[in-house]
Structure 1
């Protein structure tokens, strides 16, 4: 019969998997407590970095509907999970930048919106610009297209007026 503390830990992990938009699995072997604390602070409010036992994490992942063996196979060795509540790109950038400065942190892979991802895919995701920047670029492009359309619509009547004036001038010259 499972112990109540382990049942509670599995339930908490399951809730984290279900309520988060992504989970990035890392290996933290060799990091000091101060470095882990620094990593937690650098991830900000959008992510929760949590160290958990692999067997409990596997049970919670299965219960949360993550049956993918790709994700479950990553749960070997000392594992920690960054549960992402907000922008996944921001968290991926934070983990990548911290891993550059601290070689002991290794990004193993993860699952984002239910899709398993390798460590290379998460690194590529970290190379993207943030959601806000991409949305502002989209808004700027849409605004530019609207401006071009307005200029085109404004040019048509003015060209028609100039054409009519040219015709009137030519008719006046010929008389």
Structure 2
């Protein structure tokens, strides 16, 4: 192999390592058996959530994780491999891929990391079923508003009763 080809491959490994290190989460999937239309639909769903998905050679991935916190992922780099990266929402790739995998048997989640920590398949599935940040905030706001509403109703009831007694 020529020195130029080796340098080019080394650059690709470096870029992949940088992408992995910059990502909040990365989920590795086997997409074998999906039609072009299904892959296009999946990529659109991921893109809408600011998640990128790339098909990367296993050897490149193996070299990219060497010496990083993600070395435990080497065992999942077998067969056709695509990686969904998210730099923003660490749960988004897991949620979208889990939902898509439930609807399409051909897609299978092989492993990955969330919030810079390698997770088991069970942990990834658990994260995927968690409510989103927005849903949790809405629930919190609702919980905080409920006691205030009750106090407001009680004050209004006392005020109405006072108006009735004065009349």
TM-score class normalised by the smaller sequence: 0.7 to 0.9
Q: Distance in 1 between matches of 2:145 and 2:41?
A: 41
Select 1:142's aligned residue among 124, 131, 144.
Answer: 144
Q: What TM-score results when the alignment is normalised by the length of structure 2?
A: 0.77
Cα RMSD (Å) of the superposition? Answer: 2.5
Which residue of the other structure, out of 12, 27, 49, is the alignment partner of 1:9? Answer: 12
Shift of 1:31: 2.1
Q: Is the 8 A contact 1:27 1:80 kept in 2?
A: yes
Classify 1:22/1:34 alpha carbon distance in 2 versus 1 (closer, same or farther; 3 Å).
Answer: same
- Is the radius of gyration larger for structure 1 or structure 2? 1
Distance change >3 Å, CA 67–CA 123, structure 1 → 2? closer
- Following TM superposition, by how much is the alpha carbon of 1:8 offset from its aligned partner in structure 2, in angstroms? 2.2
**Structure 1: gaps (5+ residues):** 159-175
Partners of 1:37 and 1:3 in 2: CA distance: 32
Q: 1:78 to 1:127 in 2, by over 3 A?
A: same
**Alignment coverage as a number of residue pairs:** 152
Any idea what the Cα deviations from partners look like across 1:82-118, whole Å, max 9, x if unmatched?
A: 1112223332221112112221111011111122112
Residue number in structure 2 paired with 1:56: 60
